[in-house]
């Protein structure tokens, strides 16, 4: 294992979760342009997060963001 790799992943995932949360919560207060497009992107992010085996916390943030935007579809299969 390469030293520091886990920390880099943690920083990436932390920034990803924060960005998604801030955008969705902020957008709900001010209106989100192209909400349907954002839901589609969040579904794609969730699929990619599963492929890359990101943390369950990151998957939960993506899933919660989708639900807040009104997406009631089931999450994709776990890899």
pLDDT per residue over 54-68, tens digit each?
999 999 999 999 999
Residue written as token pair 């599963």: 50
Q: How many residues does the chain have?
A: 79
**Higher confidence at residue 64 or residue 29?**
64
The whole-model pTM stands at 0.77
45 has pLDDT over 60: yes
**Count of Cβ atoms closer than 10 Å to residue 42 Cβ:** 23
CA distance 24 to 34: 12
């Amino acid at each position: 294992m390469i030293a520091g790799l886990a920390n880099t992943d943690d920083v990436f995932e932390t920034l990803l979760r924060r960005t998604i949360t801030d955008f969705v919560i902020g957008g709900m207060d001010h209106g989100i342009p192209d909400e349907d497009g954002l839901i589609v992107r969040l579904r794609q992010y969730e699929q990619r997060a599963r492929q890359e085996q990101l943390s369950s916390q990151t998957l939960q943030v993506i899933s919660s963001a989708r639900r807040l935007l009104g997406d009631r579809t089931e999450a994709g299969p776990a890899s």
